[in-house]
Amino acid sequence: MTKDHGVQAPSTGRHRFDHSPWAFWSEAGAEEHARQSALQQALLDEHPAYAFGDRCYVSGLASVDNTELELGDSSYIAAGAYLTGSLRAGRDCTINPYTVVRGQVGLGDAVRIGAHTSLLGFNHTMSDPDTEVFRQPLTSKGIQVGNDVWIGSHVVVLDGVVIGDRAVVGAGSVVTKDVPSGSVVGGNPARVLRWRVPGAEPARPAGPGDPAGAVAAFADSARDQAQEVLGRYFDGRTDDGIFTDRPGVAPTVRAQCDAIEIADVLLGRAPDQLPVDRQIRRLRDWQDPTTGMVGTLLRDGSQLKPEPVLFDEEAGYHVLCAGYALDLLGSAFPSPIRVVADASATDVITHLERLPWSTNAWSAGHWVDILGTAFLWNALADEKGHPGSYESLFGWLLTRADPRTGMWGTPRRSDGLLQIVNGFYRASRGTFAQFGRPPAHPERVIDTVLEHARDVRYTRPERQNACNILDIAHPLWLTRQSGYRTEEVDALARRLLTDAIGHWTPGQGFGFRAPHSGVRIHAESVPGLQGTEMWLAIIWYLADLTGLEQLLGYRPRGVHRPEPHPGITSAGARKL
């Protein structure tokens, strides 16, 4: 260790457990267990940014000099290992003897790293030939390793590399480029030798690096199958038929709204399963006149009464989905969103300050999205509300955006930039995007999103879900006019677009989470209305970023409408 912390490694001759730590917790005695626990506690006392799960092992013969270190359950660091920088490792990860892990490195679950291997998540610059290299600044893109990965002995992994889930890196390899999920790579530089996971090999693109053919083919197929998809999720066993998100589950408010949005995108009209006037009447009748909110549906068809607060957690999203569904049907809520109309500027600021930006930025952004959309519906209904309440929302967001990230909140060790990127999408959708106003630091937003998009936990094809990919696509689209890092944005959008189209299930639509060969079935991968509505919007944003949107023949007009609501600038609407 860099310091002995007053705790000496046990005198065991050849230090068996230091070099074979996988046997420690099952074979070492109580005295050795106590000594290891004391060593870990000494490290935790000295380094507040360290965290160890259950049954971890850190050899007293390792050099651990991290600024941040997180080990999941049953992970270990063996003798001779040399660690610096920031390392976040999941469960059952091995840092074997004489392994070097430096810079910004993230490991998923069950990552096994052979002896004498180096993961180097930083690099020297050498742009100035008149300055010695060691005097020039360092750069760091970081290394991300997925789940269930085996990296052999004497491997070198260079900065900026992403190794996908279930990949194997052969002994002695030098890895300079990303390793696809499910592949077996080897050599110097490493290249794909074969596929560990059957069916993991990516399909060839329709053209040389251009997904145009696939985009056009997808759009035609989706339109042809739209009626089949919508019919799959309609329960017409009663006269008052209703949509469900998936066959066999209880109806929800959102399912009715998602069906209306899908039909509008693919068919240019309301769903054919019910008369339009009946769909409008149902949505309007669901609004609580006291609060202006739409309560949650119960299995017997009744509703929970919304709480008279800003905002009832269960009913909040209905301000978006039911409001826009009515808008697409040419109607509107019969009453204003009264809990917002009654809120003063002080109330808005107080609630913004209380939101969990540092621990759950997505939840905070969700609240802002609802508030901004409620301001929209109230403005269109000529509900003036309290003076300054709308302005206080935008003022707070503009002045509290972090100039380093362009966003609100702080990254978390457990999930990196996920929370602040997802929170930025939700907050900016309901405010800057919906009202046609620019965010405070667009170039920093792009930097943050591009860095987040390198996180293998969220962007590898088999790990994608609609929320995480939409929350990348929309901020990049919102800030596209800056002209900043356009080539990188285009390359990322093309890759994600190809992935997204491949998630479609014929006749059923999209699951919220992507399906993928070789990965166990996840409940969120089952196709449904929510996944279909969201992925259709994602595909439009990614296609527009790559100049291919005309091939789709559709443009979202509901919750995921790209431009500001037309009522904001129309002659009859109250100017905000």
- Catalytic residue, candidates 15, 124, 154, 516: 124
Q: How much is the pLDDT for 576?
A: 53
Fold designation for 16-195: UDP N-Acetylglucosamine Acyltransferase; domain 1 (2.160.10)
Identify the burial level of 493 via C-beta atoms within 10 angstroms of its C-beta, where 0-12 means exposed, 13-18 middle and 19 or more buried: buried
pTM to 2 decimals? Answer: 0.75
Token pair listed for 529: 């209305």
Is 369:334 a contact under the CB 8 Å cutoff?
no
Q: How far apart, in Å, do the first and last CA atoms of the chain sit?
A: 61
Taking 50 as the pLDDT cut, the residues of the chain under it are: 1-12, 204-208, 517-520, 570-574
The question of whether 516 is a catalytic residue gets the answer: no
**Beta-ladder partners of 527:** 511
Q: How much is the pLDDT for 209?
A: 52
The dihedral over CA atoms of 515, 521, 522, 526, expressed in degrees to the nearest 10, equals 60
Which helix (H) or strand (E) segment holds residue 530: the answer is: helix 529-545
Please name which of 307, 426, 431, 315 lies closest in space to residue 376, comparing C-alpha atoms: 431
Token pair listed for 89: 């490792």
In angstroms and rounded to an integer, the radius of gyration of the C-alpha atoms of the chain is 27
CA 524 → CA 122, 385, 436, 499, 512, distances in Å?
Answer: 36, 40, 33, 17, 5
- Could you give phi then psi for residue 138, rounded to 5 degrees? -90, 155
Which helix (H) or strand (E) segment holds residue 63: the answer is: strand 63-71
Token pair listed for 265: 């995108």
- Between helices 361-380 and 318-328, what is the axis angle to 10°? 40
Q: How much is the pLDDT for 516?
A: 63
Q: How much is the pLDDT for 55?
A: 95
Domain ranges of the chain: 16-195, 337-440
